[in-house]
Chain A
Amino acid sequence: MELDDLYRDVILDHNRRPRNFGVLEPADASVEGFNPMCGDRLTVRLRMAGQTIADIRFEGQGCAISTASASLMTEAVKGKSRAEALALFDRVHSLLTDDDAPSDELGKLAALSGVREFPARVKCASLCWHTLASALQPPHPRQLAAVSTE
């Protein structure tokens, strides 16, 4: 296990300067995710254009892994269809938990592969994705405050 592999430059950069951070108004969906283990909370807000994620922003308080993961996620799914975003969630989930998961075609999200060596931190990285998956559930508009990693 190497710390450098967990805290790669991409992760540190997105933690320091999270992209798409802040409130999105108006939003078609606003969902708060909560990790009761560490107390991390983040809210994902998105605006849909039909089946496409037209815009997405997040805010909240979390560790470097959860902040960077959310920041990377917003960049990756903006402009994607609902189905494409959920498929990406599956691939990221595999990346976080499966040693043999391929990281090609994941772009910057591949930087999260170091997390799988730190099982206690997998939920930090997946919190935003669980929250997004909930936000994508129709019908919209949708507001929720109860998505938990447990």
Chain B
Amino acid sequence: MKNIALANEPRFDVMSARDDFPVLARVIHGKPLAYLDNGASAQRPRAVIDAVNDYERHHHANIHRGVHTLSQEATGLYESARDRLVRFIGARSRHEIIFVRGATEAINLVAQSYARPLLQSGDEILITYLEHHANIVPWQLVCEQTGAKLVVAPMDQRGEIHMAAVESLMSDRTRLFACAHVSNALGTVLPVKRLIAAAKARGIATLVDGAQAVPHMPIDVQDLGCDFYTFSGHKLFGPTGIGVLYGREALLERMPPWQGGGDMILAVTFGKTTYNSLPYKFEAGTPNISGAIGLGAAIEFLGRMDLEGAHAHEHALLAYATDVLSEIESLRIIGTAPDKASLVSFVVDGVHPHDLGTILDEDGIAVRTGHHCAMPVMDYFKLAATARASFAFYNTFEEIDRLGAGILRARSIFA
């Protein structure tokens, strides 16, 4: 490892954290796995694997309507996962935590159930330049349906979003402002609290896509002041296919159900259906019960950790990776905002990201290569693709050294 001042870094026990993640012991092409693709999906700790396994082996039944023991146990486990999430993000009540498939579904739900009934031709939805496709396309769809207009706040060369630029685009036609908390393609941390305050002052509803933020920083939705906050379980060390829509209760109350079916109703006749109360109004059909339980276990696992130490370690990894990569000749880091979280996007002259990904994989190093579902960001930097190393608290400085060495090896192949 390069000589950097770590003496004052908080002592976070990385090796003990790694022991909780069985997959990190894997050997890939004869090399120990260096998993640097956490931005796409994080790995699961034993606590999550065991909770899902225990549920499947001993407690599975359909939830909410059964009087038998298994159904009551499954209901209890599913709902206690919701309670953990209430505390995890500082929601006011369990009415504000809707289980969905992931952040993508959460945003679509808000677009169709909150925005669509409200929008009129000429109204505006404001987003930023650095959004993931999941925070662009649902708004384009609802704009097509209503005649509303999608307005995009600009980004600068460092990948930063500036308050003034966003505020100047908040008009009396803006009905909703939606932005990422952390950019998945660049790592930029947006000044969401101030952006939300600016929107609120103008009576504009706000949605924050927290998919890339939740694993790396404490989230308090009441402190942020947003109306909606969305994230996915699998980036938070939980299972795939489960995620959360947080919504302010007063807004959720007014919104019509998104999907119809079982569990979201109180009474159905062919003449009229009475919808269930929150949060069930938005959870039609049998949900991903084991996924929710796994996500609850992930939250519990994180609650037992030294999270402050973990986040500080991630920050040190980011700083170290930025140093190591910056020293590589002909490597350019894409996204150089002063406030970043836990990922580095980069390109290397003469080595296409796709080739780099293959070569690093031969060294056991997993990185993401491509457009990261943020094609407008790629277009902005006039790139088709970047390579992206994204970190979790279980990554090590040594893995970043290996990344640096792998990049040099790739460069020598194409020299």
Chain A interfacial positions (CB closer than 8 Å to B): 1, 3, 6-7, 12, 15-16, 37-41, 61-65, 118, 120-121, 124
Contact = CB atoms under 8 A, between A and B. Distances in A.
Nearest to A4: B413
Contacts of A120: 358
B359 A3 contact: yes
Contact of B352 (A6, A12, A64): A64
Interface residues of B, number: 17
Contact of A3 (B369, B370, B413): B413
A63 B413 contact: no
B349 to A, nearest CB: 13
> Which of B362, B375, B384 has the most chain A CB atoms inside 10 A of its CB?
B384
Given A7-B413, A62-B352, A64-B414, A41 B358 contact: no
B370 A39 contact: yes
Which DSSP category, helix, strand, loop or mixed, fits chain B's interface?
Answer: helix
B355 A39 contact: no
B29 interface: yes
A16 B29 CA distance: 27
B396 to A, nearest CB: 24
Nearest to B382: A61
Interface string B359-400: 100100000011100010010000011000000000000000
Contacts of B29: 1
A56 B359 CA distance: 31
B362 A12 contact: no
Contacts of B414: 12, 15-16, 64
B202 interface: no
Contacts of B358: 3, 6, 118, 120-121
Nearest to B378: A39
B362 A3 contact: yes
Contacts of B378: 39
A142 B208 CA distance: 46
A40 B362 contact: no
Given A63-B353, A64-B355, 5 more contacts: A3-B359, A7-B413, A16-B414, A62-B352, A62-B384
